[in-house]
Amino acid sequence: MPEFDAMAKWYDFDYERRMRKDLPFYRECAAEGGNPVLELGAGTGRITAYLAKAGFDVTGVEISPVMLERGRARIARLRGVAGRAQLLQGDMASLDLRRRFGTILAPFRSFHHLHEIGRQLAALRGIRKRLKPDGVAVIDLVNPDLADLLAADGKLRVSYERKHPKRGTRIVQRFRVRSDLPRQIAYIDYVWDEYRGRRKVGSDTAPMRWRWFHRFEFEHLLARSGLRPIRICGDFNGGAYEADSEEMIFFAVRG
Ligand SMILES: C[S@@+](CC[C@H](N)C(=O)[O-])C[C@H]1O[C@@H](n2cnc3c(N)ncnc32)[C@H](O)[C@@H]1O
């Protein structure tokens, strides 16, 4: 996935401590579904490492070799997880695994990177196949806010500006979204500019394509894949999904 290869450099800086308050939530999910745990779109191993440290037996599947390399380096640095965490390169739409899992997670909106219906169904059918009979799948999606997407359309926005703790530089991340409403695709261009004083000392860009889902559309996809939703949460505190929730987190079992 070239999009994430380009993002990998900034990924942990962007998300490690900010924004994502989801780790305890996924620990609860893993406790509900049980071992072993499969994470789809494991990225730099943020959740895989956390769950392994919490005592779970976790396999992460990640498509981007650059993200994977960072994830493997993180796992290698971990102490005391001895064999409980592994990261494999793979495509969640063509899972090549023999094991069955008690918990299958698709966290932090990784499912949005499956743009075509065929690939979405292939991923969900793969989840069903790899789920234990009493296992639970948890898929985190954005609750799409079309008014916000349209208001943002084509505008360059600053998502954050902060100091880099190691380099002492100031990083400004900007993004521009263009939405294709009939295709439910958002095209996002990310830019990271790095400044020392007033002088720009670096700049990186990453284009991203992102498919959004609506609630009942996703329920239909689950049904077509032999999965049954048991609840939908709207946040990482387990709150129920509402029209204005930020997240749309599906819990599904074999149907
Ligand atoms: C937003 S990141 C989430 C990473 C990690 N789960 C976390 O929460 O920090 C989404 C990840 O999904 C990966 N991804 C996208 N499409 C994928 C696919 N078809 N199969 C496996 N991984 C995929 C991307 O490369 C990226 O690393």
Atom of ligand 1 nearest to the CA of 105: 6
| DSSP-derived secondary structure for 203-217 | EEEEEEEEE---HHH
40 C-alpha vs ligand 1 centroid, how far in Å?
7
4 lines ligand 1 (CB under 6 A): yes
| pLDDT at 225 (0 to 100) | 98
| DSSP-derived secondary structure for 15-65 | HTTTT---HHHHHHHHHHH-SSEEEES-TTSHHHHHHHHTT--EEEEES-H
At 236-251, the pLDDT tens digits run 999 999 999 999 999 9
Instruction: Output phi, psi for 56, to 5 deg.
Output: -85, 160
- Taking the alpha carbons of 240, 27, 135, 106 in that order, is the dihedral positive or negative? positive
User: pLDDT (tens digit, 0 to 9) for every residue of the chain, 255 residues total?
Assistant: 667 777 888 888 887 665 568 999 999 999 999 999 999 999 999 999 999 999 999 999 999 999 999 999 999 998 888 789 999 999 999 999 999 999 999 999 999 999 999 999 999 999 999 999 999 999 999 999 999 999 999 999 999 999 998 889 999 999 999 999 999 999 999 999 999 999 999 999 999 999 999 999 999 999 999 999 999 999 999 999 999 999 999 999 999
**Cβ neighbours, 10 Å, residue 225:** 22
107 lines ligand 1 (CB under 6 A): yes
Distance in angstroms (rounded) separating the CA atoms of residues 159 and 174: 6
β-strand partners of 252? 137, 229
Under 8 Å CB-to-CB from 251, ≥6 apart: which residues? 29, 136, 137, 138, 229, 230, 231, 232, 233
Distance in angstroms (rounded) separating the CA atoms of residues 110 and 36: 20
Atom of ligand 1 nearest to the CA of 119: 19
β-strand partners of 253? 228
1 lines ligand 1 (CB under 6 A): yes
Tell me the three state secondary structure of residue 126: helix
Maximum distance among all Cα pairs of the chain, rounded to whole angstroms: 59
Atom of ligand 1 nearest to the CA of 61: 21
| pLDDT at 4 (0 to 100) | 78
- Taking the alpha carbons of 157, 162, 164, 169 in that order, is the dihedral positive or negative? positive
Q: Residue 247: which H helix or E strand, with range?
A: strand 247-254
Tell me the three state secondary structure of residue 179: strand
| pLDDT at 17 (0 to 100) | 61
Kindly report the protein residue whose alpha carbon is nearest to atom 12 of ligand 1.
Answer: 41
| pLDDT at 1 (0 to 100) | 63
